[in-house]
Structures are given as C-alpha cells and as structure tokens.
Amino acid sequence: MEANKTKEYRILIVDDSDFTRSNISAMLDEPKYNIIGEAMNANEAINILKDRKAHLAIIDVVMPDVSGIELANYINDNFQDTAVIMISSLGQESIVIDSISAGASDYIQKPFSKEDLLTSVDKVLENIANNED
C-alpha cells in the first residue's frame, strides 16, 4: 500500500496570449500540477474539457469572441467538477464581482507573481480536496 501518495491536479490554462499561457505553465511546473492543455479561446477550452477532465481552469477575462466570464459561466453550468480562477489586467470591482458571480473561486490581477498564483491555485485545490473527502 502506498503511503502519502500526492494527488496530481489537472489544470487547463485559457488565455489569448501565448506569452501568458507559457508563463503560467512555467510557474506551475511542479509534480502536483498536471497542465492538461492550453487554450487560446473559449472553443478550444471547451473542447479540451470535453476530452479531458480538469480540476481547475485558469481563465483570462478579456478574450476575443467569448469573454472569460462567459466561459466561466459555461464551465460552472456544464463542468461542475472544474473550479475556475479568473485572471486579468483589469482591476475594476465590477469585473471581480462578475467573475465571482460566474462561479470563479478566485480572481488574480495581472501582472502577478509566481507566489500569488501558487497561493491562489493551492487554496482552490485544497477546497476541492476537502470537498472530495
């Protein structure tokens, strides 16, 4: 019997910026995080989620065609086992409120540090783990 097997969490990164997706992926380069995909828009994100289950989606608010908030609403309605963290360079209180209303567990303003990202991700994943027990 294995003792203390560390759970691996599957994470999807959704941002229309290649740089931001790569940056987040690099920040989450630890054994407990498994980046299952990077999407540049809502359609790519939905296709990845249909194909591979994710514990967490990190989503940019401002994207072409479908906003991150609309995507978060869709995930909340259709993929209830996937938590959402919204990210944005926009800091208006209304956007934060809209993000939380859409089902986001947290909101991080860009630019953010690796520590800020890991703190948010670990907090959300800890809530998921506690709810699975």
The helix-helix angle for 68-78 and 93-101 (nearest 10°) equals 20
Residue extents of the structural domains in the chain? 9-125
Cα–Cα distance list, 45 to 105, 127, 131 (Å):
18, 23, 24
Class assignment of domain 9-125? alpha beta
Q: Which amino acid appears at position 49 of this protein?
A: L
Tens digit of pLDDT for each residue in 9-53? 999 999 999 999 999 999 999 999 999 999 999 999 999 999 999
Tens digit of pLDDT for each residue in 86-116? 999 998 999 999 999 999 999 999 999 999 9
- Backbone conformation region of residue 32, classed left if phi is above 0, alpha if psi is from -120 to 50, else beta: alpha
* pTM summary value: 0.94
Question: What is residue 7's predicted lDDT score, i.e. its pLDDT?
Answer: 78
